[in-house]
Structure 1
Amino acid sequence: MRRIHVIGIGAGDPEQLTLQAVRALRGTDVFFLLDKGAAKADLTRLRRDILDTHIPEGTYRLVSAPDPERDRAAGGAAYAPAVEDWRGARAALYERLIAEELGEDERGAFLVWGDPALYDSTLGILEEVLERGSVTFAYDVVPGISSVSALAARHRTGLSGVGRPVQITTGRRLSGGFPEGVEDVVVMLDAHQVFRRFADEDVDIYWGAYIGTPDEILVSGPIAEAAPRIERLRAEARERKGWIMDTYLLRRRPGKPSGDPR
Protein backbone atom coordinates (compact mmCIF):
# COMPACT_ATOMS: atom_id res chain seq x y z
CA MET A 1 0.00 0.00 0.00
CA ARG A 2 1.09 3.56 -0.65
CA ARG A 3 2.22 5.41 2.46
CA ILE A 4 2.25 9.16 3.13
CA HIS A 5 4.36 11.01 5.69
CA VAL A 6 2.99 14.35 6.88
CA ILE A 7 6.18 15.95 8.20
CA GLY A 8 6.35 19.03 10.39
CA ILE A 9 9.44 20.94 9.23
CA GLY A 10 9.51 23.75 11.77
CA ALA A 11 9.25 27.47 11.14
CA GLY A 12 11.97 27.66 8.47
CA ASP A 13 15.33 26.82 10.04
CA PRO A 14 16.67 23.48 8.66
CA GLU A 15 18.19 22.85 12.11
CA GLN A 16 14.72 22.82 13.71
CA LEU A 17 13.85 19.43 12.26
CA THR A 18 13.56 16.61 14.77
CA LEU A 19 15.49 13.37 14.37
CA GLN A 20 12.17 11.67 13.63
CA ALA A 21 11.51 14.16 10.82
CA VAL A 22 14.95 13.61 9.30
CA ARG A 23 14.42 9.85 9.40
CA ALA A 24 11.05 10.26 7.65
CA LEU A 25 12.63 12.52 5.00
CA ARG A 26 15.29 9.93 4.27
CA GLY A 27 12.66 7.21 3.92
CA THR A 28 10.60 9.14 1.35
CA ASP A 29 10.55 8.41 -2.37
CA VAL A 30 8.39 11.32 -3.59
CA PHE A 31 7.94 14.80 -2.09
CA PHE A 32 4.84 16.75 -3.09
CA LEU A 33 5.33 20.54 -3.24
CA LEU A 34 2.61 23.10 -3.86
CA ASP A 35 3.73 26.06 -5.96
CA LYS A 36 2.25 29.27 -4.55
CA GLY A 37 3.53 31.46 -7.36
CA ALA A 38 6.47 33.81 -7.85
CA ALA A 39 5.54 36.04 -4.90
CA LYS A 40 6.03 33.14 -2.49
CA ALA A 41 8.93 31.41 -4.23
CA ASP A 42 10.89 31.73 -0.98
CA LEU A 43 8.61 29.12 0.61
CA THR A 44 9.50 26.58 -2.08
CA ARG A 45 13.19 27.45 -1.81
CA LEU A 46 13.16 26.93 1.96
CA ARG A 47 11.65 23.48 1.50
CA ARG A 48 14.32 22.63 -1.07
CA ASP A 49 17.00 23.90 1.30
CA ILE A 50 15.69 21.54 3.97
CA LEU A 51 15.84 18.59 1.57
CA ASP A 52 19.35 19.57 0.41
CA THR A 53 20.49 19.80 4.04
CA HIS A 54 19.23 16.41 5.16
CA ILE A 55 18.92 14.09 2.13
CA PRO A 56 21.52 12.91 -0.40
CA GLU A 57 20.89 14.28 -3.88
CA GLY A 58 19.32 11.87 -6.36
CA THR A 59 17.63 9.66 -3.76
CA TYR A 60 14.13 11.12 -4.18
CA ARG A 61 11.74 12.77 -6.65
CA LEU A 62 10.05 16.16 -6.38
CA VAL A 63 6.55 16.59 -7.77
CA SER A 64 5.31 20.18 -7.91
CA ALA A 65 1.83 21.47 -8.76
CA PRO A 66 0.16 24.91 -8.60
CA ASP A 67 -1.71 25.49 -5.35
CA PRO A 68 -5.42 26.15 -5.96
CA GLU A 69 -6.38 29.80 -5.55
CA ARG A 70 -8.47 30.80 -2.55
CA ASP A 71 -10.94 33.68 -2.53
CA ARG A 72 -9.22 35.84 0.09
CA ALA A 73 -11.66 38.68 -0.44
CA ALA A 74 -14.52 36.61 0.94
CA GLY A 75 -15.60 37.81 4.35
CA GLY A 76 -18.50 37.48 6.76
CA ALA A 77 -20.86 34.64 5.86
CA ALA A 78 -18.91 33.95 2.65
CA TYR A 79 -15.66 33.16 4.48
CA ALA A 80 -16.43 29.55 5.52
CA PRO A 81 -17.81 28.50 2.09
CA ALA A 82 -14.73 30.01 0.39
CA VAL A 83 -12.43 27.99 2.65
CA GLU A 84 -14.42 24.81 2.01
CA ASP A 85 -14.23 25.33 -1.76
CA TRP A 86 -10.47 25.79 -1.52
CA ARG A 87 -10.05 22.68 0.64
CA GLY A 88 -12.12 20.70 -1.86
CA ALA A 89 -9.89 21.86 -4.71
CA ARG A 90 -6.80 20.87 -2.75
CA ALA A 91 -8.30 17.46 -1.99
CA ALA A 92 -8.87 16.86 -5.71
CA LEU A 93 -5.26 17.88 -6.40
CA TYR A 94 -3.84 15.63 -3.65
CA GLU A 95 -5.95 12.75 -4.91
CA ARG A 96 -4.56 13.12 -8.43
CA LEU A 97 -0.95 13.52 -7.29
CA ILE A 98 -1.05 10.45 -5.07
CA ALA A 99 -2.78 8.31 -7.68
CA GLU A 100 -0.57 9.37 -10.61
CA GLU A 101 2.82 10.10 -9.05
CA LEU A 102 3.18 7.61 -6.19
CA GLY A 103 3.75 3.92 -6.90
CA GLU A 104 1.86 1.26 -4.95
CA ASP A 105 4.95 0.39 -2.91
CA GLU A 106 6.36 3.93 -2.56
CA ARG A 107 6.35 6.48 0.23
CA GLY A 108 5.33 10.07 -0.38
CA ALA A 109 5.51 13.11 1.87
CA PHE A 110 3.97 16.53 2.38
CA LEU A 111 6.23 19.03 4.15
CA VAL A 112 4.17 21.14 6.55
CA TRP A 113 5.37 24.41 8.05
CA GLY A 114 5.60 24.26 11.83
CA ASP A 115 3.48 21.46 13.24
CA PRO A 116 0.81 19.64 11.15
CA ALA A 117 -1.63 19.71 14.09
CA LEU A 118 -1.61 23.52 14.45
CA TYR A 119 -3.39 25.73 11.92
CA ASP A 120 -2.80 23.48 8.94
CA SER A 121 -5.30 21.75 6.66
CA THR A 122 -3.21 18.82 5.38
CA LEU A 123 -4.58 16.18 7.75
CA GLY A 124 -8.21 17.10 7.08
CA ILE A 125 -7.63 17.14 3.33
CA LEU A 126 -5.98 13.70 3.34
CA GLU A 127 -8.97 12.35 5.28
CA GLU A 128 -11.25 13.83 2.63
CA VAL A 129 -9.21 12.11 -0.10
CA LEU A 130 -9.58 8.77 1.67
CA GLU A 131 -13.33 9.30 2.07
CA ARG A 132 -13.66 9.76 -1.69
CA GLY A 133 -12.47 6.18 -2.05
CA SER A 134 -10.70 6.38 -5.41
CA VAL A 135 -7.18 6.02 -3.97
CA THR A 136 -6.03 4.24 -0.83
CA PHE A 137 -3.00 4.89 1.34
CA ALA A 138 -1.85 4.85 4.93
CA TYR A 139 -0.38 7.97 6.50
CA ASP A 140 1.48 9.01 9.61
CA VAL A 141 2.23 12.37 11.18
CA VAL A 142 5.61 13.66 12.34
CA PRO A 143 5.22 16.61 14.75
CA GLY A 144 7.29 19.71 14.23
CA ILE A 145 8.36 22.88 16.02
CA SER A 146 5.52 25.33 15.49
CA SER A 147 5.94 29.05 14.86
CA VAL A 148 4.30 29.52 18.26
CA SER A 149 7.01 27.54 20.05
CA ALA A 150 9.74 29.22 17.99
CA LEU A 151 8.30 32.67 18.75
CA ALA A 152 8.38 32.06 22.50
CA ALA A 153 11.90 30.68 22.31
CA ARG A 154 13.23 33.61 20.28
CA HIS A 155 11.72 36.06 22.77
CA ARG A 156 12.97 33.96 25.70
CA THR A 157 9.55 33.80 27.33
CA GLY A 158 6.94 31.20 28.21
CA LEU A 159 3.54 31.14 26.62
CA SER A 160 1.66 31.54 29.89
CA GLY A 161 2.14 32.60 33.49
CA VAL A 162 2.04 30.27 36.48
CA GLY A 163 -1.36 28.63 36.72
CA ARG A 164 -2.70 30.64 33.78
CA PRO A 165 -4.10 29.26 30.52
CA VAL A 166 -2.96 30.40 27.09
CA GLN A 167 -5.31 30.62 24.14
CA ILE A 168 -4.38 30.39 20.46
CA THR A 169 -6.68 32.29 18.15
CA THR A 170 -6.80 34.33 14.94
CA GLY A 171 -6.89 38.04 14.26
CA ARG A 172 -10.45 37.61 13.01
CA ARG A 173 -11.47 36.23 16.42
CA LEU A 174 -9.42 38.72 18.42
CA SER A 175 -11.25 41.62 16.77
CA GLY A 176 -14.06 40.88 19.23
CA GLY A 177 -11.77 41.58 22.21
CA PHE A 178 -9.55 39.66 24.62
CA PRO A 179 -10.98 36.16 25.33
CA GLU A 180 -12.81 36.04 28.65
CA GLY A 181 -10.70 34.80 31.55
CA VAL A 182 -7.48 34.61 29.52
CA GLU A 183 -4.43 36.82 30.08
CA ASP A 184 -2.08 35.27 27.48
CA VAL A 185 -3.20 35.04 23.85
CA VAL A 186 -1.24 33.79 20.83
CA VAL A 187 -2.56 35.28 17.60
CA MET A 188 -2.05 33.86 14.13
CA LEU A 189 -3.30 34.93 10.72
CA ASP A 190 -3.78 38.60 11.61
CA ALA A 191 -3.67 40.50 8.33
CA HIS A 192 -5.25 43.59 9.90
CA GLN A 193 -2.95 44.03 12.93
CA VAL A 194 -5.80 43.83 15.42
CA PHE A 195 -3.33 44.20 18.31
CA ARG A 196 -3.53 47.98 17.78
CA ARG A 197 -6.92 48.09 19.48
CA PHE A 198 -5.20 47.28 22.81
CA ALA A 199 -2.71 50.16 22.65
CA ASP A 200 -4.47 51.95 25.52
CA GLU A 201 -4.37 48.89 27.80
CA ASP A 202 -1.60 47.39 29.93
CA VAL A 203 -0.74 44.69 27.40
CA ASP A 204 2.68 43.60 26.15
CA ILE A 205 3.28 42.12 22.72
CA TYR A 206 5.91 39.61 21.56
CA TRP A 207 5.83 39.73 17.76
CA GLY A 208 7.79 37.87 15.12
CA ALA A 209 7.81 37.55 11.33
CA TYR A 210 9.58 34.99 9.12
CA ILE A 211 10.57 33.19 12.33
CA GLY A 212 13.42 30.74 11.89
CA THR A 213 14.55 32.19 8.55
CA PRO A 214 17.35 34.63 7.63
CA ASP A 215 14.66 37.35 7.28
CA GLU A 216 13.43 36.95 10.87
CA ILE A 217 12.13 40.14 12.55
CA LEU A 218 11.38 40.37 16.28
CA VAL A 219 9.74 43.18 18.30
CA SER A 220 8.52 43.18 21.89
CA GLY A 221 7.28 45.65 24.49
CA PRO A 222 4.13 47.50 25.54
CA ILE A 223 1.74 47.68 22.59
CA ALA A 224 1.57 51.47 22.77
CA GLU A 225 5.31 51.62 22.12
CA ALA A 226 5.78 48.58 19.90
CA ALA A 227 2.78 48.92 17.57
CA PRO A 228 4.14 51.78 15.39
CA ARG A 229 7.42 49.94 14.88
CA ILE A 230 5.66 46.67 14.05
CA GLU A 231 3.41 48.41 11.53
CA ARG A 232 6.40 50.01 9.82
CA LEU A 233 8.55 46.85 9.76
CA ARG A 234 5.64 44.73 8.62
CA ALA A 235 4.78 47.07 5.74
CA GLU A 236 8.42 47.31 4.64
CA ALA A 237 8.88 43.52 4.76
CA ARG A 238 5.70 42.83 2.83
CA GLU A 239 6.68 45.36 0.18
CA ARG A 240 10.17 43.87 -0.09
CA LYS A 241 9.20 40.18 -0.20
CA GLY A 242 5.61 40.25 -1.47
CA TRP A 243 4.32 38.14 1.44
CA ILE A 244 4.59 37.90 5.20
CA MET A 245 4.14 35.19 7.81
CA ASP A 246 3.92 36.54 11.36
CA THR A 247 2.47 35.68 14.74
CA TYR A 248 2.48 37.23 18.18
CA LEU A 249 1.77 36.74 21.86
CA LEU A 250 -0.28 39.27 23.82
CA ARG A 251 0.12 39.32 27.61
CA ARG A 252 -1.79 41.36 30.12
CA ARG A 253 0.40 42.67 32.86
CA PRO A 254 -0.23 41.31 36.39
CA GLY A 255 -3.02 43.05 38.28
CA LYS A 256 -5.09 43.87 35.19
CA PRO A 257 -7.92 41.33 34.94
CA SER A 258 -9.39 40.42 31.57
CA GLY A 259 -11.97 42.97 30.53
CA ASP A 260 -10.48 45.83 32.62
CA PRO A 261 -10.81 48.86 30.29
CA ARG A 262 -8.00 50.85 31.90
Structure 2
Amino acid sequence: MILTLIGIGTGNPEHLTLQAVRAINAQDMILIPRKGEGKADLAVLRRDICAQVLTNPDTQVVEFDLPVRDEATPDYQQRVRDWHDAIAATWVAAMDGAQGRIGLLVWGDPSLYDSTLRIAERLEPAPVIEVVPGITSLQALTAAHGIPINDIGAPFVVTTGRQLRDHGWPAGADRVAVMLDGACAFQTLDPAGLHIWWGAYVGMAEQIICAGPVADVTDQIITMRAEARAAHGWIMDIYILARH
Protein backbone atom coordinates (compact mmCIF):
# COMPACT_ATOMS: atom_id res chain seq x y z
CA MET A 1 0.00 0.00 0.00
CA ILE A 2 1.11 3.55 -0.77
CA LEU A 3 -0.22 6.20 1.60
CA THR A 4 -0.12 9.70 0.11
CA LEU A 5 -0.40 12.68 2.45
CA ILE A 6 -1.53 15.61 0.34
CA GLY A 7 -1.14 19.14 1.65
CA ILE A 8 -4.25 21.10 0.64
CA GLY A 9 -3.48 24.53 2.04
CA THR A 10 -5.84 26.35 4.39
CA GLY A 11 -9.15 25.35 2.84
CA ASN A 12 -9.07 27.43 -0.34
CA PRO A 13 -9.15 25.10 -3.37
CA GLU A 14 -6.95 27.61 -5.21
CA HIS A 15 -4.16 26.76 -2.75
CA LEU A 16 -3.83 23.32 -4.32
CA THR A 17 -0.64 22.84 -6.29
CA LEU A 18 -0.65 21.03 -9.62
CA GLN A 19 1.22 18.24 -7.84
CA ALA A 20 -1.60 17.98 -5.28
CA VAL A 21 -4.26 17.83 -8.00
CA ARG A 22 -2.36 15.07 -9.79
CA ALA A 23 -1.90 13.18 -6.53
CA ILE A 24 -5.61 13.37 -5.68
CA ASN A 25 -6.49 11.89 -9.07
CA ALA A 26 -3.85 9.15 -8.73
CA GLN A 27 -5.47 7.63 -5.62
CA ASP A 28 -7.57 4.48 -5.50
CA MET A 29 -9.16 5.73 -2.28
CA ILE A 30 -9.31 9.07 -0.48
CA LEU A 31 -10.13 9.11 3.23
CA ILE A 32 -12.08 12.07 4.63
CA PRO A 33 -12.31 12.35 8.43
CA ARG A 34 -15.40 13.70 10.15
CA LYS A 35 -14.62 15.62 13.36
CA GLY A 36 -18.14 15.88 14.76
CA GLU A 37 -21.06 18.24 14.20
CA GLY A 38 -19.23 21.30 15.47
CA LYS A 39 -16.50 20.88 12.84
CA ALA A 40 -18.64 19.56 9.99
CA ASP A 41 -17.37 22.36 7.74
CA LEU A 42 -13.92 20.75 7.70
CA ALA A 43 -15.27 17.59 6.07
CA VAL A 44 -17.41 19.71 3.72
CA LEU A 45 -14.33 21.63 2.56
CA ARG A 46 -12.52 18.39 1.79
CA ARG A 47 -15.57 17.13 -0.12
CA ASP A 48 -15.71 20.40 -2.07
CA ILE A 49 -12.04 20.08 -3.01
CA CYS A 50 -12.63 16.55 -4.28
CA ALA A 51 -15.73 17.69 -6.18
CA GLN A 52 -13.73 20.43 -7.90
CA VAL A 53 -10.54 18.58 -8.84
CA LEU A 54 -11.24 14.83 -8.68
CA THR A 55 -11.88 13.66 -12.24
CA ASN A 56 -10.86 10.01 -11.86
CA PRO A 57 -14.12 8.02 -11.72
CA ASP A 58 -12.32 5.05 -10.19
CA THR A 59 -11.24 6.91 -7.06
CA GLN A 60 -13.36 5.92 -4.06
CA VAL A 61 -14.02 8.59 -1.43
CA VAL A 62 -14.56 7.15 2.05
CA GLU A 63 -15.57 9.15 5.12
CA PHE A 64 -14.98 8.07 8.70
CA ASP A 65 -15.51 9.47 12.19
CA LEU A 66 -12.43 10.57 14.10
CA PRO A 67 -12.18 9.42 17.73
CA VAL A 68 -12.41 12.08 20.41
CA ARG A 69 -9.28 12.80 22.45
CA ASP A 70 -9.61 11.80 26.11
CA GLU A 71 -9.03 15.03 28.02
CA ALA A 72 -9.28 13.26 31.39
CA THR A 73 -5.75 11.83 31.18
CA PRO A 74 -3.54 14.31 33.09
CA ASP A 75 -0.40 13.71 31.00
CA TYR A 76 -0.82 15.78 27.81
CA GLN A 77 1.80 13.81 25.86
CA GLN A 78 0.15 10.52 26.82
CA ARG A 79 -3.27 11.88 25.84
CA VAL A 80 -1.95 12.69 22.39
CA ARG A 81 -0.19 9.34 21.97
CA ASP A 82 -3.35 7.44 22.93
CA TRP A 83 -5.40 9.58 20.58
CA HIS A 84 -3.01 8.94 17.69
CA ASP A 85 -3.21 5.21 18.34
CA ALA A 86 -7.00 5.43 18.14
CA ILE A 87 -6.88 7.47 14.92
CA ALA A 88 -4.54 4.93 13.30
CA ALA A 89 -7.05 2.21 14.19
CA THR A 90 -9.88 4.17 12.54
CA TRP A 91 -7.79 4.58 9.39
CA VAL A 92 -7.32 0.82 9.20
CA ALA A 93 -11.04 0.23 9.71
CA ALA A 94 -11.94 2.80 7.03
CA MET A 95 -9.52 1.24 4.54
CA ASP A 96 -11.24 -2.12 5.10
CA GLY A 97 -8.33 -4.08 3.67
CA ALA A 98 -7.92 -1.88 0.60
CA GLN A 99 -4.55 -1.85 -1.10
CA GLY A 100 -3.11 0.28 -3.86
CA ARG A 101 -2.90 4.05 -3.38
CA ILE A 102 -4.73 5.67 -0.47
CA GLY A 103 -4.73 9.42 0.06
CA LEU A 104 -5.37 11.73 2.99
CA LEU A 105 -6.00 15.45 2.48
CA VAL A 106 -3.99 17.34 5.09
CA TRP A 107 -4.63 20.94 6.12
CA GLY A 108 -1.67 23.16 5.31
CA ASP A 109 1.45 21.05 5.02
CA PRO A 110 1.98 17.62 6.63
CA SER A 111 5.26 18.81 8.16
CA LEU A 112 4.12 21.84 10.19
CA TYR A 113 2.22 21.18 13.42
CA ASP A 114 0.33 18.28 11.93
CA SER A 115 0.45 14.72 13.26
CA THR A 116 -0.57 12.80 10.15
CA LEU A 117 2.99 11.59 9.54
CA ARG A 118 3.33 10.40 13.14
CA ILE A 119 0.00 8.58 12.94
CA ALA A 120 1.00 6.95 9.65
CA GLU A 121 4.07 5.49 11.36
CA ARG A 122 1.73 3.45 13.59
CA LEU A 123 0.22 1.50 10.69
CA GLU A 124 1.12 -2.18 10.34
CA PRO A 125 2.27 -3.37 7.94
CA ALA A 126 4.04 -0.09 7.32
CA PRO A 127 2.92 1.55 4.06
CA VAL A 128 5.11 3.38 1.62
CA ILE A 129 4.54 7.04 2.50
CA GLU A 130 4.53 9.84 -0.05
CA VAL A 131 4.16 13.50 0.94
CA VAL A 132 2.87 16.31 -1.25
CA PRO A 133 3.68 19.68 0.34
CA GLY A 134 1.03 22.36 0.74
CA ILE A 135 0.67 26.05 1.54
CA THR A 136 0.70 26.59 5.29
CA SER A 137 -1.39 28.94 7.39
CA LEU A 138 1.85 30.77 8.21
CA GLN A 139 2.38 31.56 4.52
CA ALA A 140 -1.28 32.55 4.14
CA LEU A 141 -1.03 34.85 7.16
CA THR A 142 2.05 36.71 5.92
CA ALA A 143 0.40 37.06 2.51
CA ALA A 144 -2.83 38.40 4.05
CA HIS A 145 -0.91 41.09 5.94
CA GLY A 146 1.70 41.67 3.22
CA ILE A 147 4.65 41.16 5.57
CA PRO A 148 7.82 39.05 5.68
CA ILE A 149 8.08 36.54 8.51
CA ASN A 150 11.53 37.71 9.58
CA ASP A 151 13.60 40.85 9.85
CA ILE A 152 16.76 41.01 7.71
CA GLY A 153 19.06 38.16 8.71
CA ALA A 154 17.12 37.63 11.94
CA PRO A 155 15.75 34.38 13.37
CA PHE A 156 12.13 33.61 14.13
CA VAL A 157 10.42 30.83 16.06
CA VAL A 158 7.27 28.89 15.24
CA THR A 159 5.62 27.62 18.41
CA THR A 160 2.26 26.82 19.99
CA GLY A 161 -0.04 28.73 22.29
CA ARG A 162 0.63 26.19 25.04
CA GLN A 163 4.39 26.76 24.82
CA LEU A 164 4.00 30.54 24.78
CA ARG A 165 1.71 30.45 27.80
CA ASP A 166 3.87 28.05 29.82
CA HIS A 167 7.36 29.30 28.90
CA GLY A 168 6.98 32.87 27.68
CA TRP A 169 8.86 34.52 24.84
CA PRO A 170 11.26 32.03 23.16
CA ALA A 171 14.89 32.87 23.81
CA GLY A 172 16.83 34.30 20.88
CA ALA A 173 13.78 35.05 18.72
CA ASP A 174 13.00 38.46 17.27
CA ARG A 175 9.63 37.31 15.95
CA VAL A 176 7.36 34.49 17.04
CA ALA A 177 4.68 32.76 14.97
CA VAL A 178 2.08 31.07 17.17
CA MET A 179 -0.18 28.22 16.07
CA LEU A 180 -2.67 25.95 17.85
CA ASP A 181 -3.64 28.62 20.34
CA GLY A 182 -7.13 28.15 21.70
CA ALA A 183 -6.95 30.86 24.36
CA CYS A 184 -5.05 33.86 22.92
CA ALA A 185 -1.88 33.13 24.87
CA PHE A 186 -0.36 36.46 23.84
CA GLN A 187 -2.39 37.90 26.73
CA THR A 188 0.12 36.32 29.12
CA LEU A 189 2.98 38.47 27.79
CA ASP A 190 3.88 42.01 28.77
CA PRO A 191 2.29 43.96 25.89
CA ALA A 192 4.78 46.83 26.03
CA GLY A 193 6.48 47.11 22.64
CA LEU A 194 4.68 44.05 21.21
CA HIS A 195 3.05 44.14 17.78
CA ILE A 196 0.72 41.42 16.50
CA TRP A 197 -0.48 40.29 13.08
CA TRP A 198 -3.45 37.96 13.61
CA GLY A 199 -5.71 36.08 11.23
CA ALA A 200 -8.36 33.37 11.16
CA TYR A 201 -9.47 31.22 8.21
CA VAL A 202 -6.55 32.81 6.36
CA GLY A 203 -6.73 32.32 2.63
CA MET A 204 -10.40 31.36 2.74
CA ALA A 205 -13.50 33.36 1.85
CA GLU A 206 -14.18 33.69 5.60
CA GLN A 207 -10.76 35.26 6.29
CA ILE A 208 -10.58 37.87 9.03
CA ILE A 209 -7.40 39.68 10.07
CA CYS A 210 -6.28 42.27 12.59
CA ALA A 211 -2.95 43.94 13.30
CA GLY A 212 -1.52 46.52 15.65
CA PRO A 213 0.11 47.00 19.04
CA VAL A 214 -0.95 44.17 21.36
CA ALA A 215 -2.03 46.66 23.99
CA ASP A 216 -4.45 48.25 21.51
CA VAL A 217 -5.96 45.27 19.66
CA THR A 218 -6.16 42.45 22.23
CA ASP A 219 -9.83 43.02 23.06
CA GLN A 220 -10.69 43.37 19.37
CA ILE A 221 -9.01 40.06 18.49
CA ILE A 222 -10.68 38.23 21.39
CA THR A 223 -14.09 39.53 20.28
CA MET A 224 -13.52 38.75 16.60
CA ARG A 225 -12.33 35.26 17.47
CA ALA A 226 -15.30 34.47 19.71
CA GLU A 227 -17.81 35.76 17.16
CA ALA A 228 -16.22 33.81 14.32
CA ARG A 229 -16.11 30.59 16.30
CA ALA A 230 -19.76 30.97 17.28
CA ALA A 231 -20.71 31.60 13.64
CA HIS A 232 -18.77 28.69 12.13
CA GLY A 233 -18.59 26.18 14.99
CA TRP A 234 -14.79 26.00 14.63
CA ILE A 235 -11.85 28.31 14.13
CA MET A 236 -8.33 28.05 12.79
CA ASP A 237 -6.26 31.10 13.65
CA ILE A 238 -2.60 32.03 13.76
CA TYR A 239 -0.57 35.11 14.61
CA ILE A 240 2.89 36.62 14.52
CA LEU A 241 4.36 38.67 17.35
CA ALA A 242 7.28 41.09 17.07
CA ARG A 243 9.06 43.26 19.59
CA HIS A 244 9.55 46.91 18.63
Do they superpose with TM above 0.5? yes
Match of 2:98 among 86, 95, 102: 102
1:1-262 aligned at under 5 Å gives the runs 2-56=1-55, 58-72=57-71, 78-98=75-95, 100-103=96-99, 106-129=100-123, 133=124, 135-175=125-165, 176-198=167-189, 200-253=191-244
- SS of 2:20's equivalent? helix
The 8 Å contact of residues 7 and 112 in structure 1, kept in 2 or not, is answered as yes
Read off the aligned partner of 2:78 and give its amino acid letter: P
Question: After superposition, what is the alpha-carbon deviation per residue over 1:96-118, rounded to whole angstroms, capped at 9, x for unaligned?
Answer: 333x1523xx2110000000001
Distance in 1, matches of 2:98 and 2:213, equals 51
Greater Rg, structure 1 or structure 2?
Answer: 1
The 8 Å contact of residues 198 and 223 in structure 1, kept in 2 or not, is answered as no
Q: Give the length in aligned residue pairs.
A: 243
The 8 Å contact of residues 199 and 227 in structure 1, kept in 2 or not, is answered as no
The TM-score with structure 2 as length reference comes to: 0.94
Shift of 1:56: 2.1
Shift of 1:54: 1.1
Shift of 1:243: 1.4
Shift of 1:28: 1.1
Distance in 2, matches of 1:152 and 1:140, equals 28
Q: Structure 1, unaligned stretches of length 5 or more?
A: 254-262
Question: Cα distance 1:199–1:234, how it changes in 2: closer, same or farther (>3 A)?
Answer: farther
Shift of 1:177: 1.4
Q: Structure 2, unaligned stretches of length 5 or more?
A: none
Distance in 2, matches of 1:244 and 1:73, equals 23
Distance in 1, matches of 2:56 and 2:130, equals 24
The TM-score with structure 1 as length reference comes to: 0.88
Question: After superposition, what is the alpha-carbon deviation per residue over 1:161-186, rounded to whole angstroms, capped at 9, x for unaligned?
Answer: 01111101111110121111111000
Distance in 1, matches of 2:77 and 2:199, equals 27
